[in-house]
Amino acid sequence: MAQKRARDRDPAASGELQMFKAQFFRALAHPTRIRLLEILVRGGRTVQELQAALDLDQPIVSQQLAVLRNQNVVSAHKQGLSVRYTVRDPLVGELLAVARAIINNHFANTRGLLRELQREARRG
């Protein structure tokens, strides 16, 4: 039991976990990758389908998919002459929904602050 507690407090193990988390979120931290994931959570797509949906050139789509694939966020499966991409974990959709809710709350708070600032300006 003492060994388990020591391992739980091991800064190296904790540092590795934090690094893994940071790399995961870094993989999500790009507008094109977020747009790709928003499409892929609704079902698998080929590069060509994603390219058409995003109105982007194929190299850009492929490059961003490679980042997501390297972090195991999406997987690629050969299907005939095409490669079909899917989200590896359906919880990614929930993560995106939570992020939207947080952003919505932020904007709601910002709008409230803006209204208060406008009232202060009118009072003079």
How do the domains of the chain map onto residue ranges? 2-88, 90-124
pLDDT at 59: 96
Q: What's domain 2-88's architecture?
A: Orthogonal Bundle (1.10)
Answering whether pTM is above 0.85, one says: no
How many Å apart are CA 64 and CA 31, to the nearest integer? 10
Residue 86: closest CA among 57, 27, 45 = 45
What is the distance of C-alpha 85 from the center of its chain?
Answer: 15
> What's the average model confidence in pLDDT over 5-28?
80
pLDDT tens-digit series, residues 89-121: 999 999 999 999 998 888 888 888 778 888 888
Asked if residue 4 has pLDDT above 70, the reply is no
pLDDT tens-digit series, residues 42-67: 999 999 999 999 999 999 999 999 99
Asked if residue 1 has pLDDT above 60, the reply is no
pLDDT at 116: 85
pLDDT tens-digit series, residues 74-93: 999 998 999 999 999 999 99
